[in-house]
Each structure stands twice: as C-alpha cells, then as structure tokens.
Structure 1
Amino acid sequence: MAFAQPQRETDLKAAIESGQYDALILIQGPKAQLPAPVAELLADYGRLDARLAGGCLLVPGQGLPGGRLVASATGPLLRDYDDVRRFYDAGKKAAVLARDAGVTQPLLLVAGVPDDERYAQAELVALLGFWQGLWQPLEAREALGEAEVEPVSLVGVLSESLDLDAAAAIEAGRRAGRDLCGTEPERMAPLKFAEYCEKLFAGSPVKVSVLRDTDTLKRDYPLLMAVARASLVVERHVPCVIRLEYQGEGEIEKTLLFAGKGLTYDTGGADLKVGGHMAGMSRDKGGAAAVAGFMKTLAELQPKGLKAIAEIGAVRNSIGSDSFVADEIITSHAGVRVRIGNTDAEGRLVLADLLSHLREDAKNAVEPEIFSIATLTGHAARALGPYTAVVENGPARQLQIGRTLATLGDQYGDPADISRVRREDYAFIAPRTRADDVLSCNNAGSSVTARGHQFPMAFLDLAAGLDKHGLDSDQPIPYAHLDIAGSGVEGGDWQHGSPSAAPVITLAASYLL
C-alpha cells in the first residue's frame, strides 16, 4: 500500500540546496508568476519549442534538482467550461513523464492558479493527479516489486497552505479503491476481496467483519445469493458480505451508511454477455472498491462525531446449471417479491439486500444518510459520460445531498451530475401481475432503454424497503444512489483503463474535510 509520500517544502531555494530531490515538477497555468531561475529557463526554452506553452516536456535545467525540469501546462483556465481538472490532468501527465525519465524524488510546484473559486483546490487536485499517474496495478506490483513499477518514493510539495495529511489520506483511500477495482477476477475473488479489506484496516479504527456462511447468507441476503447461486460449486468463488464500521470520538452527530456493489466478475449469468462485452467485467466491483476506499480515507482522518457503516456484497455472477434465470420470483430481505427481468441486471439485486440491512441500522441512527455506489448501468455512461450520476430520494433531495456532491465534486476535480427519479421510473418497474411486487428490469440493455440509469434507483427504493422512509413517512431517511459506470475508470475503457476510485474525493470533500 506504499505510495510516494508527500513532504512539505516552503522555500524553493532551500529545497534545491538540500540535494534531496532529483527533478522539479512544474504544473503551471497561463501567465504563471515563476521564481527567477525557472522563469528564465522557460523563457529561453520556449523560444526553441513552442510546445512548452501547452504540453508536458522534460527540459534540461542547470541548478535545478537533478538538472531537469518537467514542465506541464494546464492550458486555458478561464473559459466557461474550464475546471480544476486541468490541473489534475497536468499533474498526471507530469507524473508519467517524470517516472519514465527515471525521476524517483521529485519536487512539485503548482503555479499560475487563477483567483477564481473554481481553482481553490488546484494544489490538492494537481497532487492527486500526480499520484494517479504514478499508480500501477496490484498484480504488477506483486509480480515485479513495488520499487520496480512505482519507483517514485517521495514527492516534495512546495506549498505553505496545502493540508498534506488530508491529501495523503485521500490518496490512501483512492489507492485502495484502484487496487480493489482494477485487479483481475481470480486475484480479487470475493474472499480475497475480503482479505484485502481485513489487511487494509488492520490496526485502524475501522472494524471489519466478514459473513461467509452460505446458509446465513441465503436467509439474510436472498437476492444476493440468487446472483451467487451458480458460483457456489467453485470454492474460491463463493460470496461474502463485508461489513465495515467506524465510530468517531465524542457525541455522534451524523451517520453515513454505504452499500457497495462488489461483482468480482459479471458474466451476465444466464443472460450471458456476448459480442465481446464480457471483457472488463472484473471491474464491476468498482462501487464496492470506492466504498472501501472512502472508509480507508475516513480511517486515516478519524473525524470526531461521525459514525459510518458500510456493507459490501462481494459476489461472482457466474454461468452454470444452477444459474438464476429471468422470470424467477425471489423475495428480498425487505420482504419484497422481485420478478427477475434479466440476470445481467444483477448489481441492483445485490444492493437491494445490502440497503435493506442498512435501512435497519439507519432507523436507530443519528442523522442517517444512506448511499449505494455501483458500476450499475451502461446508460449512466452513455447519458453522462465520465461523470458520476447522483439519483436521490425525496429526503435526500430536500437536504440537497446531490447538490452538495456536485458542487464539491467540481471544486475537487471529481465531478457528478444530478439525475431525478420520477413517476415514470416507478411505473416502469411496477408489477404486471399479483404474483410479484416489483420487476427488476426489462430485457433490453440499459444503454438503449429510456431512463436506463434512473429507473434502477426506483427499483432499489422499493426492493430495499426504503420507499417506506420517503417524505410521506413518519421516519424519512435520505438515500442517494451513485452510479459510477461512467466515472469509475479513466476514458471509459473498462478492460484497460486505470480505475479512478470515484467518488472517493467527492465524498471526502463533502463529509471529512
């Protein structure tokens, strides 16, 4: 779990003279006011190579650490559609170039930050982008050694104000999230996912318990176990529910509850994925990975007055003679009869049982807020591109939870868009006969279904019994569903793209910073 640890520097000259660093990394906006040696160097080099104004280049620099400068420009910042991710992208590009150039202990300087509220967190975002660029998959680190594939061990940060402890805590959570999401399905099979969590939180204030007993799971998580049914014949693929609990010091003022979809592999089940669409389905555990990642950040920061409970359903949706099939009617933990519409809509089944258990916790909790996080629908990626979709129930909308997430997500470079669940979504999953209470989905892909990422939230609301806690109830409970199918990996490449650990940054900004 090691990554390039941050070290504060407040004086460029002193940092250079220390001899500790082997390159200066400059993340610069337009018209940056730079210290004399750097400004003169870039003015001279800029006359030779016009790419310096908008690209990422390695420049020889006498008198600088290691005699070299990695200059990474953000590009324009003040147009209507520019945002702080320009600093994130510049940081990431600089990290890749520096690593490939053999840099192991860089000194990071962020300059040219506009006096604009959009860029208030530019230093932090640039550093997080730099760390994102350095991350390599867990399998590579285990096979080749961390020092080989992640040679950068320390990053000096020239800043007087950036909270490096908070930055490191966020990155620790994101790193765990990337590991858990991005690792292949045998290395991160359900029980190995649980083992990773047990090691991740060992000695921390987060308590880990793992429910492995299949008889208990069948009784208490019936929808989850329907998804897992075909996997039970393979011992290493059997499911588990991982529960993470944190209680901060002092009087509890708020309770956060998270359900994470942890499909360690999704074949589609009996409605088998075909046409090459199965590749990348080892990343269908991105929601569970993000939940564990947020809890890791929380464990590092240890906020007072906050309680957090997370349940992760680590399951493999296998194909086999005992696969569950469309048309089955299965009663959820909340007592709701669910008619299966398509076995490839398995994530919402796993989440519904987890949410039902969290609903019971929330009934007696102080100021509870429930979240589900999942790589749930192709429609979210099709409709919103690389943004997390936030779909709220009435109490969550009344508290403006979605607006908070979207606003802070913009400021911290982990953006989200708000979607509304509407009456058409509930009508879509309404039962067609008296034999069942709710339909899990239609039999077409979500990406070609109108409101394909909104109606699943209506299903979760009903199947988990959360509809009994809406605005019209005696005990309203805020609930927000976060679909990260578009934001969970970079570039939308679910087979090869680097996991982003979204929305760990946004959740940390909203509740921990």
Structure 2
Amino acid sequence: MSFPLPVVLSSWDEVSDCDALILVSNQPHCQGNAAINSDIEAAQNVDHRIGRETVLIYSNSAPGKRLVLAPTGNLLKDVDDVRNFGDAAKQGLAMAVEAGATKPLIVVEGLPSHSNFQNALAVSYLSACQGLWKPLEAREVMGEEKLEPVTHIFLLDADGKTNAEFLTALESGRRLARDLCGTEPERMAPPKFADYCEQAFAGSSVQVSVESDRKTLETEYPLLAAVARASQSVERHQPRVIHLTYQGEGPIERTLMLVGKAVTYDTGGADLKVGGHMAGMSRDKGGAAAVAGFMKAIAELKPKGLKVIAKIGAVRNSIGADCFVADEIITAHSGKRVRIGNTDAEGRLVMCDLLSHCRAQATSEVNPSLFTIATLTGHAALTAGPYTIYVENGPARQQGLAQQLQASGEAWGDCGEISRPRREDWKIIRPRSEADDVLSSNNGPSVSIARGHQFPMAFLSLASGLDEHGQFAEKPVPYCHIDIAGSGVESGDWQHDKPTAAPVVALASSFLL
C-alpha cells in the first residue's frame, strides 16, 4: 500500500530532483525565486488567466520546465480557511500529473498572518494525496504504478516547521481509511474487511484480534448479531468484530476508546431502501474505516503514554427470511431491552454493544475518553453539509473534548460542527410500554425528524449504559459521538466520489501531536 511520500526541502537549491513546481499562493507572482517570478511576469502578458485560475506554463527556471500556478483567492473573507490552500494544491497537482510529473514540488506563499493558516503547506500535501488516490479495486487490477505514478511530493519549507514523519503517518492512515471505506461490498465484505485490517497492522505496534464465532457474537453483541442475522447464511457475508489495541511506552497518561461502524452493505434490511437510495451503501463503513485509519497513524508514530482501544463492528445489513424486523425486543449487552423501531437504523445497533463493552472497561482505565464514529444519519449531512458533527455528553463537554477536536480539525482542514444533546432526544427514544427500556429509532427517515442526528447519540448513551456515567455520576466517563454522514465522502455522491477519511486528521492532530 504505497502513497506519495512527503520530502521536506529547506531551500530552492535542493529542488533538482523535482520535475514540476506547483506554486500555491494568493498572489500572481513568486516571492522566493526571482527567476521563477520573471517567467510568471512574461506569461502574464499573454495569459490573463494567471492569478484567477489554475494554469500550467512553460518555465526554464522551474524543475522539469513545468510551472503550475494555483491561486487560492484573496483570503479576505471571514469564511476563508486553510482549505483554500489545500484545494488549490489539489487542483494544481492534478494538472502537473496530467502533464507527466511524478515528483512534483509544492511551494506555498502569501500566507495570512492568522494562525488558522499555519498548516497550509501540510494541508496542501494532504489535499494533493486525497486527489491522487485511486480505488483499491482498480489498483489491484491495473497496478499502483500505472494508476498512481507520483512517488514523492516535495515540500519547500525554509522554516523547517513541517513534520514529514507526522504527515507520512497521517497519510498512511488516511489511505487505509479510504481503501476500507471506498471498496465495493464483495471485495470488502466483513471477513475481508477484517483480513485487510490484519494485513495492515501485521508486525506493527497495534495488536489485532477478530471474533467470528456466531454464538459468541450473539452472547456478547446481541444487537450487532441481530443486524447480521440475515447475512449468516452466506459465509462470505458473515459478521466480524475486530479489536485493535495499542499500548504506548511508559506510564499511561490517557486512554482513547473508539467504536467504529462498518456496515459493509446496507440494504436497509426489512425496512428496505427503495427509490435508488441503496446505491452507495457500500460506503456505510466509513466510521470504522476512520477508526482503522487513526490506528494506522498511531502504529506509525508510536506515541508514548497513550493507550488506544478500538472496536469495529463489521456486518452486512441484508434482507431475507431470517432478517430482524421492527417491533423485536432485544436485550443488549448492557441489559437494556431495546425495541427495534426501524431496521434501516442499524448502525447504532452495530455499535451499541461494542460501546457497552468499552463503558464497562473504561472505569478501570487511566483518563478514558470514548468515541463512536459512523456514517450514521442523513440528518447530519442535511444539517452540516460536508462537515463532521460532534455530539458529546456532559463529562466530555466539561473537558472541552469536542471543542478540542473542532479546533484541531479547523487548523488542519478537517472541519466539524458541534451539536449539543438535549432532553428531547431522550424523549424520542423513551419506552412506550413496560416491555422495553428504549426505542432504537423512529420509523421514518432521519432527515424528516427534528433532531435526527442528535437523538441517536441519546440511544447509544442510554442503551450502552453510559447514561449511568454522566457528569454527576460517581465515575463520569467522557463520550463523544461523531457522525460523518456529511463529511465521509467528497461532494456527497456516496456511490462515486472519493472517501475523505474524516475525521482521521482531526483525531490525529488532537491526540498525536
């Protein structure tokens, strides 16, 4: 699994190995190289697009004679952020590759003084890698060298602030996340999802174990087992629970516990998706993919004093004679009796028992924080568009957990919004009779229900037993639910667009720097 490696250069004298220059700037000239600037001025006389749109010009002074000018815009608006540089670099690098470059150099100039732009060069590299990624299925058939010819991306940083090791680890994780999320449902069915994780972490500092025994899954993860019930008759679709564990050197100062949703295909189950809404549902594993991607970055960086426990529920929500249906009452790992409201609200069921296991373990861990990450609700995409949404409980809010993730993500171009759970969310999932303790969902699409992305967090909190560890409990446990239904795929086209690996960057910049 290769990707363009970042190489940091300290001066223009070191660019001889490069074969193209991508100048990312808010101004139509080059401040750092007089010869390059002279070529730009000459080109401006015949090409009025320079400074307004991305262009490729011939330059005797540029490496490989290729000079791509990638403007960011004037950056004077309140809403401008570091992604202006990332978007420009992504477009500029695509143009350089089309021209034949395989070892391009990115130079960033015209940075505003505001700290929000301090990671512009790093974000330019990450955005370029996002643009260059090709699907795993295509690479396996056609070969990585043919589809992804760029081997290195050079970054000019005279100040020496760019951490190539961190960028390498980060992109390694993001690439794993994109592969897991973006691969079609047979190639990445639950057993193969687990196999790919085992291969990705083989020989690393992250320990992997996989549970597949049906009786064990039904006993330890009854809600997940219910979602997977109709898939059990097809061996290649049978569910897996994947455990990824990292223990850093030295005394542990913090413990992160993450649960990821890997619904490798979501038909909706008995509440079948109709009207073309099933297309793209092989990407309903983006949350688990992000969890694995974050763990890959951890495996590369090996941070000291940190313990990370990740649990992934990999299932296929199939339809068939043995599928689970609305009205069933299932006793969760926590002991809560869950009445099923809609089988197309399966993601929260897949994660709930895993979260319950984390809850039971958290009280004996050092400084624990719990997370669920999922492409969970259309309401999240409707509410926040292409942004990740964080919904945290009381202890997490007291710690400023979501604020930390939001601030780090903002600085690194992995942006998110914060939603606060309210008492109405618990009202939506309240039991309607003595037969059950909690309702899993309403019986309509989340986009048509008020607070459609907040109340699933209430369900996860109540049904997993985390409600008993709120801010006024004897043992509070911080918990943040992360919904990436809007941010997990570029442009919102779940069938065709590239996975983004959100929120790997926000997590890594928060906890690994």
Tell whether the structures are fold-level matches, with TM greater than 0.5: yes
Following TM superposition, by how much is the alpha carbon of 1:7 offset from its aligned partner in structure 2, in angstroms?
1.6
**CA displacement, residues 214-259 of structure 1 (integer Å, 9 cap, x when unaligned):** 1100100000010000000000000000000000000000000000
Following TM superposition, by how much is the alpha carbon of 1:54 offset from its aligned partner in structure 2, in angstroms?
2.5
C-alpha distance in structure 1 between counterparts of 2:26 and 2:12, whole Å: 18
Following TM superposition, by how much is the alpha carbon of 1:507 offset from its aligned partner in structure 2, in angstroms?
0.4
Whether contact under 8 Å (1:99, 1:134) holds in the other structure is no
What are the within-5 Å matches in structure 2 for residues 156-305 of structure 1?
156-159=154-157, 160-305=160-305
**Is the partner of 2:7 in helix, strand or coil?**
strand
Following TM superposition, by how much is the alpha carbon of 1:76 offset from its aligned partner in structure 2, in angstroms?
2.3
Choose from 23, 27, 30 the match for 1:30: 27
Name the amino acid aligned to 2:189.
Answer: A
C-alpha distance in structure 2 between counterparts of 1:132 and 1:154, whole Å: 14
Is 2:13 aligned against 1:13? yes
Name the amino acid aligned to 1:432.
Answer: R
**Is the partner of 2:313 in helix, strand or coil?**
strand
Alignment partner, residue 39 of structure 2: 41
C-alpha distance in structure 2 between counterparts of 1:352 and 1:420, whole Å: 20
Alignment: residue pair count? 510
Following TM superposition, by how much is the alpha carbon of 1:100 offset from its aligned partner in structure 2, in angstroms?
1.7
**CA displacement, residues 99-120 of structure 1 (integer Å, 9 cap, x when unaligned):** 2221111122111111111101
C-alpha distance in structure 2 between counterparts of 1:8 and 1:399, whole Å: 36
C-alpha distance in structure 2 between counterparts of 1:266 and 1:363, whole Å: 34
Alignment partner, residue 143 of structure 2: 145
**CA displacement, residues 323-358 of structure 1 (integer Å, 9 cap, x when unaligned):** 100000001111110000000000000110110011
What are the within-5 Å matches in structure 2 for residues 105-504 of structure 1?
105-159=103-157, 160-504=160-504
Runs of 5+ in structure 2 lacking a partner? none
C-alpha distance in structure 2 between counterparts of 1:251 and 1:46, whole Å: 59
C-alpha distance in structure 2 between counterparts of 1:450 and 1:302, whole Å: 42
Following TM superposition, by how much is the alpha carbon of 1:52 offset from its aligned partner in structure 2, in angstroms?
1.8
C-alpha distance in structure 2 between counterparts of 1:402 and 1:412, whole Å: 15
C-alpha distance in structure 1 between counterparts of 2:44 and 2:404, whole Å: 42
Following TM superposition, by how much is the alpha carbon of 1:205 offset from its aligned partner in structure 2, in angstroms?
0.3
Identity %: 59
C-alpha distance in structure 1 between counterparts of 2:398 and 2:48, whole Å: 51
Whether contact under 8 Å (1:95, 1:131) holds in the other structure is no
**Is the partner of 2:499 in helix, strand or coil?**
coil
Following TM superposition, by how much is the alpha carbon of 1:208 offset from its aligned partner in structure 2, in angstroms?
0.2
Alignment partner, residue 511 of structure 2: 511
C-alpha distance in structure 2 between counterparts of 1:68 and 1:131, whole Å: 19
Whether contact under 8 Å (2:121, 2:155) holds in the other structure is no
Following TM superposition, by how much is the alpha carbon of 1:38 offset from its aligned partner in structure 2, in angstroms?
1.6
Runs of 5+ in structure 1 lacking a partner? none
Alignment TM-score, normalising by the size of structure 1? 0.98
Following TM superposition, by how much is the alpha carbon of 1:78 offset from its aligned partner in structure 2, in angstroms?
2.5
C-alpha distance in structure 2 between counterparts of 1:9 and 1:410, whole Å: 26
Deviates more, 1:306-315 or 1:22-31: 22-31
**Is the partner of 1:53 in helix, strand or coil?**
coil
Following TM superposition, by how much is the alpha carbon of 1:13 offset from its aligned partner in structure 2, in angstroms?
3.1
Alignment partner, residue 96 of structure 2: 98
Following TM superposition, by how much is the alpha carbon of 1:63 offset from its aligned partner in structure 2, in angstroms?
2.8
Alignment TM-score, normalising by the size of structure 2? 0.98
Name the amino acid aligned to 1:346.
Answer: E
C-alpha distance in structure 1 between counterparts of 2:399 and 2:152, whole Å: 41
Following TM superposition, by how much is the alpha carbon of 1:47 offset from its aligned partner in structure 2, in angstroms?
2.7
C-alpha distance in structure 2 between counterparts of 1:257 and 1:29, whole Å: 41
**Is the partner of 2:50 in helix, strand or coil?**
helix
Alignment partner, residue 67 of structure 1: 65
Name the amino acid aligned to 1:23.
Answer: A
**CA displacement, residues 432-463 of structure 1 (integer Å, 9 cap, x when unaligned):** 00000000111110011100000000000011
Label 1:251 to 1:115 Cα distance change in 2 as closer, same or farther (>3 A): same
C-alpha distance in structure 1 between counterparts of 2:63 and 2:217, whole Å: 57
C-alpha distance in structure 2 between counterparts of 1:120 and 1:78, whole Å: 16
